[in-house]
Amino acid sequence: MENGTTVSRRTVLAGMAAVPAVSLLDSPAAAAFAQQAEVQEVRLTWLEGKPSTAAVTTWGTPWPKGALPANQSFALKAADGTAVPLQSWPTAYWPDGSLKWSAHAIAVDRPAESYTLGPGTAAAPAQAVTVKQEKTYVDVDTGVIKARIRKSGSELISQIWRGDVVIARKGQLVNLKQDKIAEDEEGGGIRERYESDITRVTVEQSGPVRAVVRIEGRHKSRKGKTWLPFSVRLYFAAGAENIRMVHTFVYDRDGQTDYIAGLGVRFRVPLRDAAYDRHVRFVGEGHGMLAEAVKGITGLRRDPGAAVRAAQVAGTKLPDPSTWDQRVTTRLQYIPEWGDYSLSQLTADGFTVKKRTKKGYGWIPVDQGRRASGLGYVGGVSGGFAFGLRDFWQRHPTQLDIRGAATEEAEVTVWLWSPEAGPMDTRFYHDGMGQDTYPKQLEGLNITYEDYEPAFGTPYGIARTSELTFWALAATPTASRLGDMADQVRTPPQLINPVDQLVSTRVFGGLVTPVDRSVPAKKAIEDHLDFLFDFYRGQVESRHWYGFWDYGDIMHTFDEDRLVWRYDVGGYAWDNSELSPDLWLWYAFLRSGRADIFRFAEAMTRHTGEVDVYHLGQWAGLGTRHGVQHWADSAKQQRISTAIYRRFYYYLTADERTGDLLSELVDSDRTFLVLDPLRKIRTEPYEPDPHALAIGLGTDWSGLAAAWLTEWERQGPKADVARTKLLGTMETIGAMPNGFVTGGGLYDLDTGRFAPVTAKTVSVSHLSAMFGQVEICAELIDLVDMPAFEAAWLQYCRLYNATRAEQTAECGAHFGNLILRQGHARLTAYAAVRLDRDDLAARAWKEFYTGDGYGPNLPWTAEEVKTTLNPTQAAKWVSTNTTALYGLAAIQTLALVGDQIVNP
């Protein structure tokens, strides 16, 4: 017992709640309890089907409560029973100390169709990846390649060897900073070059299958000025010839000065072969590619011989020149050597390739296309370097550069922001229009739905994460091999769990069941869900929701007059997670296992967790409400940064960067000291007091609770504090006379509890439960036996869509004029299940069918419309203002009371 709280006996050993959470991990009792349950092996499959070439992947698998001890080891078998080398580690624990989520990594030369995971002893790799720590550097050896990682200076990777051959060296981050943006005919600003400056190197994993090294620092100029903090993780796998890089930078300017004019990763590539044995490759659309030699011997006036030409086209070593037609051999010095190549993807639908002999001489256009893969190569028959950037065309403007391929050392740059695109414009988009007081700003909100406030529309502290891969190759790869590599750059291999494992383990609170079309009413709902997802996926393409900062987000509301989305109308533009499309997509994946939904949700998670959330400055831990720019709105809120949007991706992939985002949020309750969310509508003076912070019980508390629960179950460094705050707020909410209906409370930062409330207060918002509160409360009630908290939540669930008379009778006043009743049908359904009430189940279905959302008799189709630029598909009634809530209401109502379904 602690603060009147016990942990549920349905899920946890009696009495364990009194033990600090960290100590449970080594508890003999937890291990003994785990033996009581029989653990079924889990069959894993590839998300997009078996890869055609060697694959490296990391994934997470959930386990039932009490089934496995915290220190469980695992074994993996291929479909034919062959043992597969495996590295495993825990990522989350149930409150009893048993294992909740395990993470696993493999590196396989010949992928199997499927694998089976279960308790056991892992097979060891034939060539284990090893990490060697030295005073000034770290060496990582995969058994095929070796990399030296510097602990200071500008070089993240000083050398990459394959055997005794240096394939690449001097790997560093590069940045061009521009001091101003050209206006009309004015000239551009001055560009200054910056390079990476390392401040910290941490070995996070050291094998045997997987090694991870994290490098932190800032970009630094030759004059010693710094900006753009970065965090780079390098991933190595046993027996692999490639290095994966996850690159994150944080924008630490206000957006009004100092502009990014180029941002990239650069390596130097030693070249040892004759110019006619050196090759440049760019993979464009599909497997089409530019394949050229630095010194071409095809198409000449004199023919060197068919065997010579065939070897050059294939990228293999040419016969000795003495065997060629000597009319070619004696004139080799007159054949140009093309040393510089560029592939620029400045829009989502157009890339260009150009080349020149060397700096100072004219560029020659090579080709154009729509969407390049983002993969390039330079090297020769004695070794070469391939480089790839994921989401290359989706995250335009991007660029691949090769310089100096005709010299002894080429320079390769993968540009995350192309220097040919002009400087990144992060300035706020209007002058404020006289909104210099709160009343004026509220009037602006009433007309454009934008919550403006001077100096709040800043990108200071937003971030972006990119994924790159580098290969150290023994020779120029074949066209087929390059095509396979390009496919893995576009779509990295990913193992996934069966839907049944994701559902039956109840790791996300039991709010999901598999897709079910067994009866006409269910089929209709499933078809509608598919329509909405397919519609939004199509809108991303037809509306071109792409770009460096934008890719991964969707628009909020459609303009039926202009037949475009309201991209330029205040809060109706970019969605920024408004009403939880992230949750809709992840729950849709959990119940279907669909690859297209996973990738859509993945892109959204990468975007919303980085671009829509602040990672530096006074608002670190808060996100920005929807708007014309992702950072424009002055409402900085927990509901956007909430950990519940990121947890799915973290647990399914064990992605360390997403883990960073989750850790950042643990102390976000402190943001209430610097920013009052209700400052514009508060009628009484408010001074933030760390012992009496006004925190809403809806969008504010649910975001904090998600962060605390995640830290507790991950057993992070602040797990004890997170657990105390989570259980303390749950208990004190449960003690309020009107529970969640109270609307808010005074929170103590030190104790992690709300102050006692004696009077019955009613303050209900239609938004309170729409940003993850349903999901986090379902998990907490499943985890923790706290009757008063559960009763408070069930009261809210029962009464939101109840009659005014029912609300008044129980709470002393009705809830006012409420909307989003269809989205709240799932709350009624949840109460129906927990209270075993058929009347509430029937009411839930009625609310779903006849509420204020999407009805069954809508035209569930899209029509072609002609806008000013592009004909496209439109369903004028579709808007994220309702779509995500319809999706969640359908998914969760089906999961909870699907067997009691009624026809519309």
Per-residue pLDDT of 770-791, as tens digits, reads: 999 999 999 999 999 999 999 9
Single out the residue of 819, 433, 494, 451 nearest to residue 633, CA to CA.
451
- Name the token pair of 407: 């010299």
Name the β-bridge partners of 269.
410
Is a pLDDT exceeding 60 seen at residue 89? Answer: yes
Single out the residue of 34, 56, 214 nearest to residue 119, CA to CA.
34
pLDDT at residue 834, as a whole number: 98
pLDDT band at 611 (very low <50, low <70, confident <90, very high): very high
pLDDT at residue 721, as a whole number: 98
Q: What count of Cα atoms within 13 Å lies in the side-chain half-sphere of residue 217?
A: 28
Is a pLDDT exceeding 80 seen at residue 762? Answer: yes
Q: What is the mean pLDDT of residues 163-189?
A: 91
Find the helix or strand (DSSP H, E) in which 590 lies. helix 581-592
What's the CA gap between 904 and 892, in Å, rounded? 17
Average pLDDT over the chain, rounded to whole? 94
Please, are residues 597 and 588 in contact by the beta-carbon 8 Å criterion? yes
pLDDT digits (tens, 9 = 90+) for 657-693: 999 999 999 999 999 999 999 899 998 888 899 999 9
In the DSSP assignment, the letter for residue 2 is: B
> Is the Cα torsion angle 516, 517, 520, 522 positive or negative in sign?
positive
| Residue-wise burial string across 486-514, b where 16 or more C-beta atoms lie within 10 A, e elsewhere | bbbbbebbbbbbebebbbebbbbbbbbbb
| CB-based contacts of 292-301 (< 8 A; 24+ apart in sequence) | 292/338, 292/355, 294/337, 294/338, 294/339, 294/405, 294/406, 295/332, 295/335, 295/336, 295/337, 295/338, 295/406, 296/335, 296/338, 297/328, 297/335, 300/328, 300/335
Place of tokens 């997009």: 48
- Name the token pair of 815: 């809830």
| Structure-derived torsion over alpha carbons of residues 831, 837, 839, 844, reported in degrees to the nearest 10 | 30
Find the helix or strand (DSSP H, E) in which 56 lies. strand 55-62
pLDDT digits (tens, 9 = 90+) for 129-148: 999 999 999 999 999 999 99
CA distances 857 to 31, 529, 713, 876, Å, are 54, 14, 44, 15
Task: Determine if the peptide bond prior to 717 is cis (ω within 30°).
Answer: no
What's the CA gap between 614 and 370, in Å, rounded? 34
As a whole-number percent, the residues of the chain with pLDDT over 70 amount to: 96
Residue 77 has phi, psi (to 5 degrees) of -125, 140
3-class SS letters over 496-524: ECCHHHHHHCCCCCCCCCCCCCCCHHHHH
Please, are residues 628 and 568 in contact by the beta-carbon 8 Å criterion? yes
Single out the residue of 371, 415, 377, 380 nearest to residue 397, CA to CA.
415
> Is the Cα torsion angle 438, 442, 448, 450 positive or negative in sign?
positive
Q: Is the pTM of this model over 0.85?
A: yes
What's the CA gap between 56 and 52, in Å, rounded? 12
pLDDT at residue 868, as a whole number: 72
CA distances 403 to 179, 400, 413, 514, Å, are 26, 10, 9, 52
What's the CA gap between 563 and 531, in Å, rounded? 19
Q: How many residues does the chain have?
A: 904
- Write the single-letter amino acid at 304: P
In the DSSP assignment, the letter for residue 683 is: S
pLDDT band at 189 (very low <50, low <70, confident <90, very high): confident
As a whole-number percent, the residues of the chain with pLDDT over 90 amount to: 91
What 3-state class would DSSP assign to 691?
A: coil
pLDDT digits (tens, 9 = 90+) for 432-484: 999 999 999 999 999 999 999 999 999 999 999 999 999 999 999 999 999 99
Please, are residues 160 and 470 in contact by the beta-carbon 8 Å criterion? yes
Place of tokens 């078998």: 77
Please, are residues 52 and 487 in contact by the beta-carbon 8 Å criterion? yes
Q: What is the mean pLDDT of residues 366-373?
A: 98
What's the CA gap between 619 and 665, in Å, rounded? 11
pLDDT at residue 1, as a whole number: 30
Residue 579 has phi, psi (to 5 degrees) of 60, 25
How buried is 795 (Cβ within 10 angstroms: 0-12 exposed, 13-18 middle, 19+ buried)? middle
Q: Under 8 Å CB-to-CB from 817, ≥6 apart: which residues?
A: none
What's the CA gap between 375 and 518, in Å, rounded? 45
pLDDT band at 13 (very low <50, low <70, confident <90, very high): very low
| CB-based contacts of 219-224 (< 8 A; 24+ apart in sequence) | 219/173, 219/175, 219/194, 219/195, 219/249, 220/154, 220/194, 220/195, 220/196, 221/177, 221/192, 221/193, 221/194, 222/193, 223/192
